Structure 1
Amino acid sequence: MPESRTLFGPSLQTDLVKVERAIAEFRAGRPVLLRDGERLALALSAELADADLAHSFDTLAQGRGHLVLSAARLRRLGAKGRLETGIFALPTIDTDRIETLALKIDGRMDAPVAPASALDEASLELSRLSLVLPAVILVPVSVEAVAGEPLVEVEVAAVNGYRAEQAATLKVVGRAPVPLEGAPDTEFVVFRGGEGLRDQVAIIVGKPDLAAAVPVRLHSACLTGDLFGSLKCDCGDQLRETVQWMAENGGGILLYLDQEGRGNGISNKMRAYKLQSQGWDTYDADEVLGFDLDQRHFDFAATMLKQLGVSSVVALTNNPQKIGAIEAAGLEVAATQRVLGRPNAHNVRYLASKRDRAGHFIDMDALMARAAPTD
């Protein structure tokens, strides 16, 4: 039988393209068809499911649907023991029950939790890539049941391997000098890829010596702190003071990474902020939403540094996870240096939480001394 041909050939059939299309569909609140060998399932964001979709899913499910939740959300629901991703059976696609289990602050378990399959795990990864809440309605289906439906189909392995493939395909798409206040000799280098469908930026301050250990900061984007000067975090201080320090000390590279809200996205960050305003700790607020301590990945950041010619770094960070990620990617961390922000009444609890719960190297005494008024 002759091979079927299309206008654009195999270029639109790569795993990378299929996952990117799946992300767009999932983020828009439309179902995606996941495949694991001969097993098929429709995945739909629990956050975005409307009544019409729920009815269609109920018709297809015939009592075999289930709700996939992260270990963090299961802890908040009261599940005990060592937790991984788990599922709740859905005899019917009951949107009120799904909302209670997946979204409500006071939600509690109402049935036993079953272990997750490869399809379930991939559906949660798809939700994370799509920057929606990690809660998915999954319905096993047959080929016949969805024949003729305009669905994007993607393999489990492609979803799980997407981040690594994105990191491997990073490329520079633009660069230009951008003089900054206090750092006039600065160049911006834009990379395509790394996290989902976003671009990443390297800011080269001055003329760092690439043959030596280069001062480097991995800085995750923070709209509220970096741009608007939010008092809830120390991000804006860290960003501006790092650039100033590099300008005054022989140069360096700051990677500005599109990882808002510790990788959860701006919408989920605002949900967490609302919970914090009601008294929740920053990490407890994320856990209520289904997120663990930190969803960020830094392998693509190391790829950016390698493409810029960096092999050894002085890591300007308080975060041990960043140091470990740089080393795991094959770069030398010759030294580390703390990056202090300014404590205030709005962020002191946040800073203490980062120290106590995520192991950040933060000396609160030194911070408070820095904030103390001088004569």
Structure 2
Amino acid sequence: MRLQHEHVAVERALAEIRAGRPVTIMDGAAAVLAVAAEGLDATLAAEFGALAAGTARLVLPAARLRRLGLERARPGVVALPRLDPARIERLTLALDATIDAPVSPAVPLDDVALELARLALVLPAMVLAEVAAPDAGVLRVAASAIAAYRAGEVQRLRIVGRGPVPLAGAPDSEFVVFRGGEGLRDQVAVVVGRPDLAGVVPVRLHSACLTGDLFGSLACDCGDQLRDTARRMAAGAGGIILYLDHEGRGTGIANKMRAYQLQSQGFDTFDADEALGFDPDGRRFDFAAAMLRQLGVTKVRLLTNNPVKTDALRTAGLEVVAEERVFGRQTAANLRYLSAKRDRAGHAIDIKPPPDQA
């Protein structure tokens, strides 16, 4: 029951952080007040200051520090003698910002606060301070519970619903809904046809992409890959598409749109994420392996261009018997995106030169 209580406390803390409210992170006798840097306005800063003791600090990940001009491999901390929302926003988001004060190494509670931000799918930048009164009505959560949350979500993964969903090009399909894993929504296994689960099953790990999957965005190839995979599985012996809550390579839809705005200004997809403080890819796929096991799958033919997915399933103990490439449309709008995935993340993508360069 204690572990279940701690898990619920983290879920509540995620809701508080996303709502712009502070939480208290506990680690033995130590405690810090933490609030997301994004959306910190004068009112919230005043409320935070009333609950805090001593000087506050801004915790930034290494990726954002590099954007600010510091080559760091670890997160760092900037002192905030005054809670100035404009300064915090500048250090957190502005493209032309430079570091304006000494940066101290992050301590363990700082790292935990950044993990809470990532789990909440907000910008990875947190304002922390010592707590003036630990029982001031602010939600309390254990640092150990935050650190263990991702692994716990894999262990808690379970099927909560299933039903037939006829798809265009794959009319004999079933959706199996799992609770747990990554992100803030349920995961879905789309079982296409009647695959032999005891044999080698065609499988695709598909990260959710609202813009491409639903709206047909020309800036990526995600929707094409999703629909083509379903049709290929239906035309063959069937297969399974795992539709995973990994929007924006694990950053969430809001941060994905921030990155898209940067891409419109000339950044590639990875540089845009780094400017926001994210690593090149924040996704984990251990829970995808757990989904497959619950469906009775142990051997797969993986439909992917991404070697990380292959390695992740093998590390999780599944047998990847073969790989098969998945293709989408190449457009003028997604050429740079596809090139970045090939050149910077090792995706197996053949890119045709534009007609005027052929």
Query: Which TM class, normalised by the smaller chain length?
Result: over 0.9
Say whether the 8 Å CA contact 1:20–1:197 is kept in structure 2. no
> Match for 1:313 among 288, 292, 300?
300
* Equivalent position of 2:15 in the other structure: 24
What is the DSSP-based 3-state SS (H/G/I as helix, E as strand, rest coil) of the residue aligned with 2:271? helix
Counterpart contact for 1:231–1:346, Cα < 8 Å: yes
Matches within 5 A, 1:98-109: 98-109=88-99
- In structure 2, how many angstroms separate the alpha carbons of the residues matched to 1:61 and 1:151? 11
| Amino acid across the alignment from 2:19 | A
Selected match of 1:146 from 108, 130, 134: 134
Aligned ranges for residues 305-344 of structure 1 at < 5 Å?
305-344=292-331
Runs of 4+ in 1 over 4 A off after TM superposition: 10-13, 59-63
Q: What aligned pairs does 1:158-173 form with structure 2 within 5 A after superposition?
A: 158-173=145-160
Deviation at 1:57, TM superposition (A): 3.0
SS state at 2:250 partner: coil
Once the two structures are TM-superposed, the CA of residue 116 in structure 1 deviates from its matched residue by: 0.8
**CA shift at 1:214, angstroms?**
0.8
Q: 1: CA distance between counterparts of 2:122 and 2:274?
A: 14
- 2:87 is matched with which residue? 97
Q: Distance in 2 between matches of 1:60 and 1:215?
A: 54
CA shift for structure 1 position 60: 4.6
Partner of 1:39: 30
**Structure 1 residue corresponding to 2:262, chosen from 275, 295, 302:** 275
Q: Give the whole-Å Cα distance in 1 for the aligned partners of 2:52 and 2:291.
A: 44
Aligned to 1:131: 121
- When residues 352 and 300 of structure 1 are mapped into structure 2, their CA distance, relative to the original with a 3 A threshold, is same
Which letter does structure 2 place at the counterpart of 1:232?
A
Deviations along 1:163-199, one digit per CA (max 9) or x if unpaired, are 1101111111111111111111111101112124411
Alignment of 1:1-375 (within 5 A): 14-80=5-71, 82-141=72-131, 145-147=133-135, 149-365=136-352
Which ranges in structure 1 are unaligned for 5 or more consecutive residues?
Answer: 1-9
What TM-score do the two structures reach when normalised by structure 2?
0.95
CA offset at residue 62 of structure 1?
A: 4.9
Identity of aligned residues (%): 62
Q: Which runs of 5+ in 2 are unaligned?
A: none
In the alignment, the residues of structure 2 paired with residue 357 and residue 349 of structure 1 have an alpha-carbon distance, to the nearest angstrom, of 11
Spell out, residue by residue over 1:214-267, the C-alpha distance to the aligned partner (whole angstroms, 9 max, x if none): 110000111110111100000001000000110111110000111111111111
* Aligned CA distance change for structure 1 residues 323 and 357 (closer, same or farther; 3 Å): same
TM superposition shift of 1:140: 1.6
Note the C-alpha offset of 1:102.
0.8
Aligned Cα root-mean-square deviation (Å) = 1.7
In structure 2, distance between residues paired with 1:274 and 1:38: 43
Aligned-partner residue type, residue 18 of structure 2? R
Q: CA deviation at 1:56?
A: 3.2
Q: What code does the residue aligned with 1:329 have? A: A
What is the deviation of 1:85?
A: 1.1
Structure 1 distance, partners of 2:27, 2:270, is 33
Measured against aligned partners, the alpha-carbon deviations of 1:301-330 in whole angstroms (never above 9, x if no partner) come to 111000000001111111111111111111
Shift of 1:270: 0.8
